[in-house]
Structure 1
Amino acid sequence: MSLPLSFLDLCQIESGSTSATALRNAVELAQVAERLGYTRYWFAEHHNTIGLASGSPEIMIAHVAAHTRTIRVGAGGVMLPNHAPLRVAEAFRLLEALHPGRIDLGLGRAPGTDTLTAFALRRSEEALRVDQYPQLLAELLAFDGRSFPEDHPFRAIEVTPADVRLPPIWLLGSSAFSAQLAAEVGLAYSFAAHINFGAAIPAMRMYRERFQPSEYRQSPHAILAVGVVVGETNEHARELLKIVEIGMAALAAGRPSRMPTFEEAQRIELSPLDLQRAQPLLQNVIFGDAETVAGRMRELAEESQADEIMVTTFLPNQADRLRAVEQLARVWGLQPEA
């Protein structure tokens, strides 16, 4: 039996298109993923990036959950240092009350943006200099479990809505830091191999080896998130990869933009410097036809001891996104809804 398969949506905006179109596409893709048997559909938090349509995962979660029936919808993730833990607790308890048993809360340590934008979000130089993530996580869990010490001023605060708990919590990471923290605290874990492919296997294994049971989880659960480009053939996938190459080169050069269309990408010639800049990021992408990509995913799942695979694609075109979701579901062996 194949591992569960899920999808991470970055809500890319294709060159010449609009954010409204990208967000409608996200709803359609989530509905298709649900019908095909995907387990979860997550949204990421990014800021000051003109090529992405969503900087607020909780809004997308509420919208997409209202337009689906069974698939779990969540954040992959909320960048916790950008937010007050009380505010996160309120938002995700409310989502859990609206859609009981269907919400996931993924938490990230990075800002999801550049330093200046992070400062605009956090309004504090100290918040930029000091890594407060473990303390912020502890505060969030204390709000949810009403476990502040008796002399703590926050003990008197009641998180609303008060009659639900937070949904399942996942710590997200692209290094060993969050793997270690998730294991110590006893939470689920998701590794972003689409950001740091090379570190996936040791981090995932370390999480499983060091996991300590908690009130949140009695056993480890690890998701491996991978970036894919799925073509009709391996050669087609290589042609599609040119789109990602252009976008990665722009990102590495500090000039993020909307991903080009397929036709635009074939006309663009990158400079040797841009090609060099893009290569480290392209190494995080699995590309090929669906059978090739799924085969590599199975290998990685076994090597990393993953409990679940989550795919994302950097391609912005809806037809390419639908191909990835539909063809991977078929070769992975998902069971569509009756």
Structure 2
Amino acid sequence: MIRLSVLDQSPVSEGSSPAEALAQTSLLAREAEQLGYHRFWVSEHHAASGLAGSSPEVLMAHLGAVTTKLRIGSGGVLLPHYSAYKVAENFRVLEGLYPGRIDLGAGRAPGGGGLATRALQENHQGRELDRYEQQLQDLQGYLQDETGPDHRFAGLLASPAVDTAPELWLLGSSKDSAALAAKQGMGFVFAQFINGDGGAEAVKAYVQSFRPSVADSKPRAMVAVFAVCAETAGEADRLASSIDLALVLLEKGHASTRTPSPEIAQSYKYAPFDLFRIQENRRRMVVGTPAEVKSQLEVLAESYQCEEIMVASLIHSFPDKLKSLQLIASACGLQGVRQG
């Protein structure tokens, strides 16, 4: 049986508000736990009107309090903006609050436009900015109390001192990210919802070149994909049209916009190239009836040779998003699925 998890970007739908989006993320996490999903991750985006989650650590603290066993994580913390030491301490606090339930997913994307990036990195001026590989190494060292005597901050410990460490994952959408995760000896998540090409090959290369670390003795891989499930194929396609338009607009250089309704998406005047991009972007999604989605997820798991898939959704209507999550859980036989 495939292990399933959820990535929620706290999307703001047309006609809704960021506060409502955050409340819906909380409701979705509680539902995911009851349905038997394994993890629930939240993302980091800045100055984005269509995505409310700008601080995953703060949101995780809340989600941990309203759930009891679900693993809670970041998908991901955008490490180049921050001190690895401070990130390690944030997640040690979370691990102290919710032992054995915290995942630290890290990425290097800016998560916003140039103005937001400059503001986030205001204190980095005059420094070497591309320190990502060193930051990952530092982060792992701080979390495992393994910085070593030759480290530039030798003897420095991240507090609080807790008995367990968060699981550390690197998020990426390229072979370069996979190679870095393998070199650092940490888990790897390929973001197929960002890049529909080359994911299986990247994960295969990651597994083959993995170097054991103090945190992980063997490779751990996941794939994250958009998922839309409904009772009929036609309804699933209708719901997915919101994602189609959202991605088209994003590719045209629009700033992050609120998730359009299917009605708006289906009445949009698409140019021929837009229709081509929609077809291409559907490779970043699984869409269909419960049986069809289950089959697509199984093919995906076989292609990636992984045992866990993370599903994300930009469905406009929150009840439809909940229903999609429920249908996928039931179709895939997740433990804890409600009956009736």
TM-score, scaled relative to structure 2: 0.92
**Does structure 1 retain, via aligned residues, the 8 Å contact 2:136–2:184?**
no
Q: Deviations over 1:226-279 (max 9, x none)?
A: 111222211112222221122112111221210112333333333445445555
Kindly indicate whether the alpha-carbon contact (under 8 Å) linking 1:89 and 1:166 is maintained by their aligned counterparts in 2: no
Corresponding residue number in structure 2 for 1:70? 69
Structure 1 contact 9–26 (Cα < 8 Å) conserved: yes
Aligned to 2:203: 204
CA drift at 1:291: 1.4
C-alpha distance in 1, partners of 2:268/2:31? 32
Alignment of 1:197-236 (within 5 A): 197-236=196-235
Cα distance in 1 between the residues matched to 2:301 and 2:126: 39
Q: CA deviation at 1:48?
A: 1.9
1:1-338 equivalence runs, <5 A: 2-123=1-122, 124=124, 130-150=129-149, 152-255=151-254, 256-272=256-272, 274-276=274-276, 278-336=278-336
Partner Cα separation in structure 2 for residue 146 and residue 323 of structure 1:
43
Q: Name the amino acid aligned to 2:316.
A: P
Distance change (3 Å), C-alpha of 1:243 and 1:337: closer
Give the Cα separation in 1 of the matches to 2:146 and 2:285. Answer: 42
Distance in 2 separating the partners of 1:57 and 1:48: 14
Preserved contact between residue 5 and residue 38 of structure 1 (Cα < 8 Å): yes
Counterpart contact for 1:186–1:214, Cα < 8 Å: yes
Change (3 A) 1:275 1:130: farther
How far apart, in 1, do the equivalents of 2:34 and 2:170 lie?
27
CA contact (8 A) 1:185 1:212 kept: yes
After TM superposition, the structure 1 stretch with the greater mean CA deviation from structure 2, 166-175 or 279-288, is: 279-288
Give the TM-score of the pair, scaled to structure 1.
Answer: 0.93
Question: Which SS does the other structure have where 2:7 is aligned?
Answer: strand
Unaligned runs of 5+ in 2: none
Q: Is the 8 A contact 1:78 1:107 kept in 2?
A: yes
**Secondary structure at 1:216's aligned position in 2?**
coil
Alpha-carbon distance between aligned partners in 1 of 2:111 and 2:171, rounded to the nearest angstrom: 12
Task: Give the drift of 1:294.
Answer: 1.6
Residue identity (%): 39
For this pair of structures, how many residues does the alignment match? 336
Alpha-carbon offset, residue 145 of structure 1: 3.3
CA distance in 1, matches of 2:113, 2:45: 10
Q: Could you say what the CA RMSD is over the residues aligned between the two structures, in angstroms?
A: 2.0
Q: Deviations over 1:9-53 (max 9, x none)?
A: 011111011111111111111111111111000001111211011
Q: Match of 1:65, as an amino acid?
A: G
8 A contact 1:77–1:172 mirrored in 2: yes
Matched residue type, 2:319: A
Deviations 1:37-84 (A, max 9, x none): 110000011112110111111111111110011110101111111111
- SS of 1:154's partner is coil
Work out whether residues 30 and 68 of structure 1, in 8 Å CA contact, stay in contact via their aligned partners in 2: yes
2:226 counterpart letter in structure 1 = G
Task: State how far apart, in whole Å, the 2-side matches of 1:262 and 1:126 are.
Answer: 47
Instruction: Measure the CA separation in 2 of the matches of 1:197 and 1:266.
Output: 23
Contact 1:252 1:278 in 2 (8 A): no
**Do 2:22 and 2:52's aligned partners in 1 also have CA atoms closer than 8 Å?**
yes
Residues 243 and 126 of structure 1: CA distance in aligned 2, closer, same or farther (over 3 Å)? farther
Between stretches 153-162 and 246-255, larger displacement belongs to: 153-162
The answer on whether the counterparts of 2:10 and 2:51 sit within 8 Å (CA) in structure 1 is yes
